[in-house]
């Protein structure tokens, strides 16, 4: 299966899961899905770990894990329902591929930093990947972690930021004068490798994630909220809105036609 | 207790490696530990939220982690990190709060920890250890290490007690006999209560029990017997009433239909006069002293 086919299949399954459960947060799931698919299919090795700091994109994580056979199809039907492991934000203590429960923003980077440091101290192999949102950088704890991970030069840590430019009640520009270039400038002032890439491009993800690493790596991914669905793309309201039946079918038709 | 803590941690590292993180504190106290454990001693800087998340991440990779700071900076500033990152995942991370209660005295209210173990015990999987006497520190560390779960260790000033053999560490211990009632306490304030009560005749003082681990499990039979036979039970703690030992004990007694003849609860009252002073000043303002206890026992 090509990456394009994987993207298509996964987007449709993500929308089906969210539609059937009546759950929103679709826009930020679609902006982060491509990177999560690429990492889980082509990058992660046995001793690597992935932490989803933007826990509100749990749906995309579940789909990525479903696509590599770690979550069965039957579990997806339980998403957001009673007696499920697939809660709206990742739950703790049930699957190795989700090392930490997240959902409150500003935790994942510190956790990933700790795992990277713990591995280094114990001479364990493997890298730690952490996917964050751009709005999440308004949380002060991340700046504490940024100082720490640079000071300790954790070269087994890869931080990805889903820079879709939109958050819960405005754009990152409107709310905090923040964008990927501003984040690049600030992060570059520390001692990490910092890159800005197209977060939906297989080639760009491949290049950024496969280069040799001697320092912490921070990849700022320019993305589109609602990627792949025209009426959702770059629309703030799709941070929260669930899909109506009409719009669900319209979205599926669009993806199938690609 | 800091020096005792430092020595006990050095001894522990030889048996069981761990990572020790400090929030830029420990000057003239933790240098021996830093020397002993090398790269496993990490000054995480003035950044307590990250420090706790990092500790959780380290623990996830298989190394127990200890997080150290002045008590309120250790449990209050990073409360959500303790809740989500440590407790939800039941990880072997120990939050070490130095200066429990009014331990930092005239340094002011920002440095006091009078709601520490109550707030910690609200969290899933959390256990609290409140040593009272010097030897309790190493014993607490051993218990925490065996527990392998989220823990909060409340350190304070260990009074030197002369002329009395203190019973060895246990979750419940009787330190003094007495007939005028029963005082139950926890943490470092026990030392000052022992010092002030030990030379009083047994027939004019209360017995003194020390609790060193919370939450309370089932009460020992000897404790239950004493609760129902003495004229008055008085809980004394350097902690606010809400979530404190007094409330925990009262609930436990009610659940087990254990009924004392009379029950009093002396606890931290906050800042009664609006003035600040030593730990003893604040304890006295809250009535956490021998005189107030004796007065209550005779009411």
B39, B57, B81: residue with CB nearest A112? B57
Residue A27 pLDDT more than 90? yes
B40, B85, B88: residue with CB nearest A121? B40
Mean pLDDT of B3-26: 96
**DSSP result, A162-183:** EE-SEETTEEHHHHHS--HHHH
Q: Are strands A128-133 and A49-52 parallel, antiparallel or unpaired?
A: parallel
Instruction: Give the rounded percent of residues in chain B with a pLDDT score beyond 70.
Output: 100
- Between positions 64 and 93 of B, the ones with CB within 8 A of A are 65, 80-81, 84-85, 88-90
pTM: 0.96
Label residue A30 by pLDDT band (50, 70, 90): very high
Mean pLDDT of B208-233: 96
B53, B80, B84: residue with CB nearest A114? B53
Contact (CB<8Å) A144/B84: no
Pairwise CA distance, residues B43 & B22, whole Å: 5
Centre a 10 Å sphere on the Cβ of residue A28 and count the other Cβ atoms it contains.
27
Label residue B277 by pLDDT band (50, 70, 90): very high
Residue B50 pLDDT more than 90? yes
> Is A217 touching B (CB cutoff 8 A)?
no
Residue A239 pLDDT more than 80? no
Report pLDDT digits (tens) over A83-113.
Answer: 999 999 999 999 999 999 999 999 999 999 9
Label residue A211 by pLDDT band (50, 70, 90): confident
Residue A24 pLDDT more than 90? no
Residue B22 pLDDT more than 80? yes
Q: Which of B291, B283, B250, B249 is nearest to B267 (CA)?
A: B283
Report pLDDT digits (tens) over B160-185.
Answer: 999 999 999 999 999 999 999 999 99
Query: CB neighbours of A151 closer than 8 A, spacing ≥ 6?
Result: B45
Strand partners for A218:
A159, A194
Mean pLDDT of A188-213: 96
Q: What is the pLDDT of residue B298?
A: 83
Contact (CB<8Å) B19/A141: no
Q: What is the pLDDT of residue B2?
A: 86
Pairwise CA distance, residues B267 & B289, whole Å: 11
Sign of CA pseudo-dihedral A71, A73, A76, A77: negative
CA torsion angle B86 B87 B93 B95 (round to 10): 100
Q: Return the DSSP state at A241.
A: P
How far is the alpha carbon of B72 from chain A, nearest alpha carbon, in Å? Answer: 17
Residue B40: its chain A contacts at CB < 8 A?
A: 121
Q: What is the pLDDT of residue A29?
A: 96
Report pLDDT digits (tens) over B185-202.
Answer: 999 999 999 999 999 999
Report pLDDT digits (tens) over A129-142.
Answer: 999 999 999 999 99
Q: Return the DSSP state at A24.
A: -
Residue A112: its chain B contacts at CB < 8 A?
A: 57
Tell me how far the alpha carbon of residue A240 is from its chain's centroid: 17
> Is A94 touching B (CB cutoff 8 A)?
no
Label residue B297 by pLDDT band (50, 70, 90): confident
Pairwise CA distance, residues B127 & B113, whole Å: 17
Q: Is A214 helix (H, G, I), strand (E, B) or coil?
A: coil
HEC readout, chain B: CHHHHHHHHHHHHHHCCCEEEECCCCCCCCHHHHHHHHHHEEECCCCHHHHHHHHHHHHHCCCCEEEEEEHHHHHCCCHHHHHHHHHCCCCCEEEEEECCECCCHHHCHHHCECCHHHHHHCCCCCEEECCCCHHHHHHHHHHHHHHCCCEEEEECCCCCCCCCCCCCCCCEEEEECCCCCEEEEECCHHHHHHHHHCCCCHHHCCEEEEECEECCCCCCHHHHHHHHHCCCEEEECCCCCCCCHHHHHHHHHHHCCCCCCCEEEECCCCCCCCCCCCHHHHHHHCCCCHHHHHHHHHC
Q: What is the pLDDT of residue A31?
A: 97
Site of tokens 């420990």 = B26
Mean pLDDT of A190-210: 97
Report pLDDT digits (tens) over A34-87.
Answer: 999 999 999 999 999 999 999 999 999 999 999 999 999 999 999 999 999 999
| Among chain A residues, CA nearest to B60 | A115
Site of tokens 């459960």 = A21
Contact (CB<8Å) B52/A110: yes
Report pLDDT digits (tens) over B53-74.
Answer: 999 999 999 999 999 999 999 9
Residue A236 pLDDT more than 90? no
> Is A158 touching B (CB cutoff 8 A)?
no
Average pLDDT of every residue of chain A: 96
Contact (CB<8Å) A144/B88: no
The reply to whether CATH 3.40.50.970 applies to domain A3-257 is: yes
Q: What is the pLDDT of residue A25?
A: 86
Contact B153, B94 (CB under 8 A): yes
B45, B57, B90: residue with CB nearest A114? B57
Phi, psi of B68 (to 5 degrees): -125, 135
Q: Which of A94, A98, A117 to mutate to test the interface with B (most CBs of B within 10 A)?
A: A117
Q: What is the pLDDT of residue A105?
A: 98
Q: Which of B211, B176, B188, B195 is nearest to B132 (CA)?
A: B188
Contact (CB<8Å) A113/B52: no
| Domains of chain B, start order | 2-155 (3.40.50.970), 172-298 (3.40.50.920)
Q: Which of B186, B167, B187, B184 is nearest to B175 (CA)?
A: B167
A107, A117, A140: residue with CB nearest B58? A117
Please tell me the number of Cα atoms within 13 Å of A239 on its side-chain side: 15
Residue B98 pLDDT more than 80? yes
Contact B189, B288 (CB under 8 A): yes
Task: Give percent helix, percent strand, percent coil of chain A, each to the nearest 5.
Answer: 50, 15, 40
Query: CB neighbours of A211 closer than 8 A, spacing ≥ 6?
Result: none
| Among chain A residues, CA nearest to B77 | A141
Label residue B217 by pLDDT band (50, 70, 90): confident
Label residue A212 by pLDDT band (50, 70, 90): confident
Contact A117, A154 (CB under 8 A): yes
| Among chain A residues, CA nearest to B62 | A118
Q: What is the pLDDT of residue A141?
A: 98
How far is the alpha carbon of B77 from chain A, nearest alpha carbon, in Å? Answer: 11
> What is the edge-to-edge ordering of all strands in the sheet holding B207-211?
B172-176, B207-211, B182-186, B233-236, B263-266
Contact B247, B219 (CB under 8 A): no
How far is the alpha carbon of A107 from chain B, nearest alpha carbon, in Å? Answer: 7
Strand partners for B101:
B113
Contact (CB<8Å) A100/B56: yes
């Amino acid at each position: 299966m090509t990456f394009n086919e994987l993207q298509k299949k996964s987007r449709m399954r993500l929308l089906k899961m969210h539609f059937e459960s009546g759950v929103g947060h679709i826009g930020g799931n679609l902006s982060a899905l491509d990177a999560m698919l690429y990492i889980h299919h082509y990058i992660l090795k046995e001793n690597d770990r992935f932490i989803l700091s933007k826990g509100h994109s749990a749906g995309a994580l579940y789909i990525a894990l479903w696509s590599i056979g770690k979550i069965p199809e039957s579990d997806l039907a339980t998403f957001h329902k009673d007696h499920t492991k697939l809660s709206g934000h990742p739950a703790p203590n049930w699957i190795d591929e989700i090392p930490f429960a997240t959902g409150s923003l500003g935790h994942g980077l510190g956790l990933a930093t700790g795992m990277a440091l713990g591995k280094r101290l114990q001479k364990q192999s493997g890298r730690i990947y952490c996917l964050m949102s751009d709005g999440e950088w308004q949380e002060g704890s991340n700046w504490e972690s940024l100082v720490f991970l640079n000071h300790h030069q954790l070269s087994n840590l890869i931080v990805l930021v889903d820079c879709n430019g939109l958050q819960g009640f405005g754009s990152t520009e409107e709310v905090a004068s923040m964008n990927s270039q501003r984040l690049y400038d600030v992060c570059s002032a520390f001692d990490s490798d910092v890159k800005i890439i197209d977060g939906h491009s297989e080639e760009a993800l491949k290049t950024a994630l496969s280069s040799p690493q001697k320092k912490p790596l921070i990849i700022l991914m320019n993305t589109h909220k609602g990627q792949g669905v025209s009426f959702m793309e770059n629309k703030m309201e799709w941070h929260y809105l669930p899909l109506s039946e009409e719009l669900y079918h319209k979205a599926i038709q669009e993806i199938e036609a690609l | 207790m800091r020096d005792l803590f430092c020595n006990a941690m050095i001894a522990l590292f030889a048996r069981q490696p761990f990572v020790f993180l400090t929030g830029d504190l420990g000057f003239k106290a933790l240098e021996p530990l830093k020397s002993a454990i090398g790269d496993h001693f990490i000054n995480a800087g003035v950044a307590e939220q990250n420090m706790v998340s990092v500790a959780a991440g380290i623990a996830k990779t298989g190394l127990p982690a200890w997080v150290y700071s002045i008590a309120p900076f250790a449990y209050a500033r990073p409360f959500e990190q303790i809740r989500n990152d440590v407790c939800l995942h039941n990880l072997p991370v120990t939050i070490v709060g130095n200066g429990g209660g009014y331990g930092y005295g005239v340094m002011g209210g920002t440095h006091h920890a009078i709601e520490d173990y109550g707030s910690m015990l609200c969290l899933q999987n959390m256990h609290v250890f409140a040593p009272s006497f010097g030897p309790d520190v190493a014993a607490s560390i051993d218990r925490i290490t065996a527990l392998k779960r989220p823990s909060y260790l409340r350190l304070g000033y260990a009074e030197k007690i002369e002329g009395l053999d203190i019973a060895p560490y246990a979750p419940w211990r009787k330190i003094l006999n007495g007939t005028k009632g029963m005082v139950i306490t926890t943490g470092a304030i026990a030392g000052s209560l022992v010092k002030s009560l030990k030379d009083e005749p047994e027939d004019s003082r209360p017995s003194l029990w020390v609790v060193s681990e919370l939450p309370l499990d089932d009460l020992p039979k000897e404790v239950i017997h004493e609760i129902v036979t003495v004229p008055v039970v008085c809980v004394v703690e350097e902690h606010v009433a809400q979530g404190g030992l007094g409330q925990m004990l009262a609930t436990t007694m009610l659940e087990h239909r254990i009924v004392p003849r009379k029950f009093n609860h002396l606890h931290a009252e906050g800042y009664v006069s609006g003035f600040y002073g030593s730990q003893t000043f604040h304890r006295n303002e809250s009535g956490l002293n021998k005189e107030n206890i004796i007065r209550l026992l005779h009411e």
